[in-house]
Amino acid sequence: MARHSLREEIVDAALEQFHAYGFNAAGVKDITDSAGVPKGSFYNHFDSKEALAVVALERYWESRGIEDLADRSVAPLARLRGHFELLRAKMEGHEFTRGCLIGNFGAEVADHSDVLRAAVGQSLARWVELITEVLAEAQQAGSLRSGLDPQATARFVLSAWEGTLILARADRSGAAFDSFFDLVFGTLLA
């Protein structure tokens, strides 16, 4: 199999470093060392660590199973639950140490970087939009009560999810996930 381009190696390494250690703790040298490329290669492909972080955030987004939310062959609430179940499995696979890169960047650097704040905001807005579409589809199918505002509910569900990740990381356990799934899917969206 052919080796990724140097740029792709850097992006892959950056995603891993940012997700494991955070934006501030992941230095350019850490990223290039992890990628196995010379530090000068970084500057051939990216103007700044911030620019790389935006690309890493896009790559992270693509790895979250987001496309599953649009799969109309699965009932809307089942695919929404499946989406969050997939994300829970990823969190458990990292032994509750990583959280969501979108939320992590939002908490760590959004106040200090307009570029990353905008990228985080875009990611969250797209996620809310997709969840909103699923909830609206569930209402049209009669599987979700009509009194819920799909967009407000999507924002709430996403906020609850990000909070759940913080609790799971703090506790290093899946207990917060049980509450999320019970309340969101057993009560709110029941």
Is the pLDDT confidence value at 2 over 70?
Answer: no
Residue 108 class from Cβ within 10 Å (0-12 exposed, 13-18 middle, 19+ buried)? middle
Please give the single-letter amino acid code of residue 3: R
Architecture of domain 6-58: Orthogonal Bundle (1.10)
Q: Please determine whether the domains at 6-58 and 68-188 fall in the same fold group of CATH.
A: no
User: Which CATH superfamily hosts domain 68-188?
Assistant: Tetracycline Repressor, domain 2 (1.10.357.10)
CA 89 to chain centre: 13
Confidence of residue 110 (pLDDT cuts 50, 70, 90): confident
pTM over cut 0.85: yes
CB distance 121 to 136 below 8 Å: no
3-state SS, residue 65: coil
Q: Delimit the domains of the chain by residue range.
A: 6-58, 68-188
**CA-wise closest residue to 77 among 151, 152, 155, 133:** 133
